[in-house]
Amino acid sequence: MSAPQPAAAPKPLFVGDQGRRLTIRDLARAKRRGEHWPMLTAYDAYTAGVFDEAGIPVLLVGDSSADNHLGYDSTVPVTLDELIMLGRAVVRGTKRSLIVSDLPFGSYEESPEQALRTAVRLMKEVGCGAVKLEGGVRSAAQIEKIVTAGIPVMAHLGYTPQSVNGFGGPMVAGRGADAAKRLREDAEAVQEAGAFAVVLEVVPAPLAEELTASLEIPTVGIGAGAGTDGQVLVWTDFAGMTPGRTPSFVKKYADLRGVLGDAARAFGRDVVGGAYPDAEHSFS
Ligand SMILES: Nc1nc(=O)c2c([nH]1)NC[C@@H]1CN(c3ccc(C(=O)N[C@@H](CCC(=O)O)C(=O)O)cc3)CN21
Ligand SMILES: CC(C)C(=O)C(=O)O
Ligand SMILES: [Mg+2]
C-alpha cells in the first residue's frame, strides 16, 4: 500500500486551460468550491487577447466603453450598434474567456420583448456567451424573458451607472436598513428570475458578504469588498490607462498611460531629431 496521496490542489478557475471557452457552469462550480475569480472589461481585440492569455476567465464588453474607450461623458450615450462592434472584436481576439456583453441604456427598459430582441442581437452578432443588464426588481421580467429564451443573464445591482442622471442620493448603495432591505429584495428578485450571477457595485462590504453567503448564484464585486465570489474592474482603471482620478476602490496594477506616453514622446524626439528611422529600420 502506498502512502495516501495528498488531494490534488484544486485548479483555480483563472488558470483556465480547459481548452475551451469558459461557461456559466464553470462559475457555478467555482461558487460551490468557494473559489474567487477575476473579471475585467475589454473593448478591443488586442487587449482582450492579453487578458485571455493571462487567464482572466470572464471578460465584460462593458457599456463603460462609453466613457473609457469612446470618449463619452457617461455610459448613457453608447448605442447597441457601437457595443456590438466592440464585442465582435473582443470575441475575435479571445479563445477561452467567457465573454459577457452589457445591454446598453435604452435597449431593454421598455419591455421584456425589447430586452429579448437586444439580447438575441448580441448573441447572434457578437457571439458572446452571456449578457448583462442593470436593475433588480425593475428588471426581473426582462431577465426572466431572456433566460427563458436560453440566454444567460448576469444582473447588476447597487450603483447602476446607466441611471446616473436619475440619481439624487448617495453613490454607495445599500447603506442604512431600508436601502439594505431593498438591495436584498433586488438580489432575491434577480436570482429568482434566473440570473446566473450578479454584479454588486459600490456596496458596503458586510452587505456584499452577506448576499454572497445567502445567494446561490455567484456575486461579482466592484467596490464591494473582499467577500464576493468574483471581482471586476474597468480595465483602463486597473492598468493605469484612465486619465485623471479613478474610483477609490481601484488598485492600479500598471502605469500604462505613463508607459505609452513615454513611448510616444521618445518616438517624437527620434523623428524630430533624425534618430528614427536609422539604417536598421530602413530598406537599402
Ligand atoms: N473608469 C471607470 N471606472 C469605473 O469603475 C466605472 C466607469 N469608469 N464608468 C462606469 C461606471 C461608473 N462607476 C463609478 C464611477 C465613479 C465612482 C466614484 O467616483 N466613486 C467615489 C465615491 C464617491 C461617493 O461616495 O459619492 C470613490 O471614491 O470611489 C465609482 C464608480 C463604475 N464604472
Ligand atoms: C463595471 C462593470 C460591472 C460594468 O458594468 C461596465 O464596465 O460597464
Ligand atoms: Mg456596465
Ligand 3 centroid from CA 102, angstroms: 6
Which of these, 172, 147, 185, lies nearest to 24 by C-alpha position? Answer: 147
Binding positions for 3-methyl-2-oxobutanoate are 63-64, 102, 132
Ligand 2 centroid from CA 33, angstroms: 25
Q: What pLDDT score does 12 carry?
A: 56
Is any ligand 2 atom within 6 A of the Cβ of residue 228? no
Position 271, amino acid: V
H/E run at residue 99 = strand 98-102
Do the beta carbons of residue 101 and residue 87 sit within 8 Å? yes
The answer to whether the Cα torsion of 205, 251, 173, 130 is positive or negative is: negative
Is any ligand 2 atom within 6 A of the Cβ of residue 222? yes
Q: What pLDDT score does 20 carry?
A: 87
Q: Where in the sequence numbering do the catalytic residues fall?
A: 201
What ipTM, to 2 d.p.? 0.95
Is any ligand 2 atom within 6 A of the Cβ of residue 234? yes
Q: What pLDDT score does 170 carry?
A: 66
| pLDDT, tens digit, 9 for 90 and up, residues 134-174 | 999 999 999 999 999 999 999 999 999 999 888 766 678 88
The boundaries of every CATH 3.20.20.60 domain in the chain are 13-253
Q: What pLDDT score does 6 carry?
A: 60
Would you write out the chain's pLDDT as a tens digit for each of its 284 residues? 455 656 655 555 555 556 789 999 999 999 999 999 999 999 999 999 999 999 999 999 999 999 999 999 999 999 999 999 999 999 999 999 999 999 999 999 999 999 999 999 999 999 999 999 999 999 999 999 999 999 999 999 999 999 988 876 667 888 999 999 999 999 999 999 999 999 999 999 999 999 999 999 999 999 999 999 999 999 999 999 999 999 999 999 999 999 999 999 999 999 999 999 999 999 99
What is the rounded distance in angstroms from the CA atom of residue 258 to the CA atom of residue 254?
A: 9
Q: What pLDDT score does 18 carry?
A: 64
Ligand 2 centroid from CA 9, angstroms: 32
Binding positions for Mg(2+) are 63, 102, 134
Helix (H, G, I), strand (E, B) or coil at 105: coil
Do the beta carbons of residue 118 and residue 128 sit within 8 Å? no
What is the rounded distance in angstroms from the CA atom of residue 13 to the CA atom of residue 35?
A: 8
What is the rounded distance in angstroms from the CA atom of residue 119 to the CA atom of residue 72?
A: 23
Helix (H, G, I), strand (E, B) or coil at 265: helix
Q: What pLDDT score does 1 carry?
A: 46
Q: Which residues fall within 8 angstroms of residue 21, CB to CB, at 6 or more apart?
A: 95, 96, 97, 98, 99, 129
Q: Considering the domain delimited by 13-253, tell me its CATH architecture.
A: Alpha-Beta Barrel (3.20)
**Cell numbers linked to 237:** 482603471
CA-based Rg of the chain, rounded to a whole angstrom? 21
